[in-house]
Amino acid sequence: MVDIGDDAPDFTVPKAGGETYNDLDEFTFSDAIADGPTVLAFYPAAFTSGCTEEMCAFRDSMGLFDDLDAQVFGVSVDLPFAQNIWIREENLNFPMLSDWRHDVIRDYDVVLDDMYGMIEVAERSVFVVDTDGVVTYRWVKDGENPDFDHLVSETREAVEDATN
């Protein structure tokens, strides 16, 4: 299990930017972490109510992360084409990473293997990684969905701590 103080597992996946349905780039995590503290917000599935509420809470608070030169990425097993449509529909202002092979959720040990009793998806979770590639914050859903505004505020505080 990836925990605070561990080196964050590296990965390469498609990144959905949201400009068009086929706005795709290859994304390698180790290349991105030098640009500032990084938030990986894992969510089960695009277009669902809880995931939309969570990602919109991040959307509405992006200025707070921008002030810290932090990057935020949503991560799910959705295909990047679907993620692009969702980004556009919800006016999300940060990219989504498509773990369509399910490797990243396994590496971070955030697999929810029984969505609807049949689909393996990401467990709702958040990791903050500093510029050295070390996990400085980890939150994994336990029970019901949290107050997402509070989760985003807590994540922002963790990012601020990672910059000090």
Residue 53 has pLDDT above 80, yes or no: yes
Tokens 């396994």: give the residue. 106
Does residue 56 carry a catalytic annotation? no
Task: Find the catalytic residue in 33, 45, 51, 77.
Answer: 51
The alpha carbon of residue 136 and the mean position of all alpha carbons in its chain are separated, in whole angstroms, by 15
* Contact predicate 93/19, CB 8 Å: no
Where do the domains of the chain lie?
A: 12-163
Nearest to 39 by CA among 136, 162, 127: 127
E runs forming strands in the chain: 12-16, 24-28, 38-42, 71-76, 96-98, 111-115, 119-122, 125-129, 135-140
Q: What is the pLDDT of residues 64-106, one digit of tens each?
A: 999 999 999 999 999 999 999 999 999 999 999 999 999 999 9
Residue 96: per-residue pLDDT? 97
163 confidence band (pLDDT: 50, 70, 90): confident
Q: What is the pLDDT of residues 29-43, one digit of tens each?
A: 999 998 889 999 999
Superfamily of domain 12-163: Glutaredoxin (3.40.30.10)
Separation between Cα atoms, residue 45 and residue 53, nearest integer Å: 12
Residue 19: per-residue pLDDT? 87
Separation between Cα atoms, residue 34 and residue 20, nearest integer Å: 27
Pair of tokens at residue 91: 């006016």
**Whole-model pTM?**
0.94
Pair of tokens at residue 35: 């640009």
Q: What is the pLDDT of residues 98-142, one digit of tens each?
A: 999 999 999 999 998 766 566 789 999 999 999 999 999 999 998
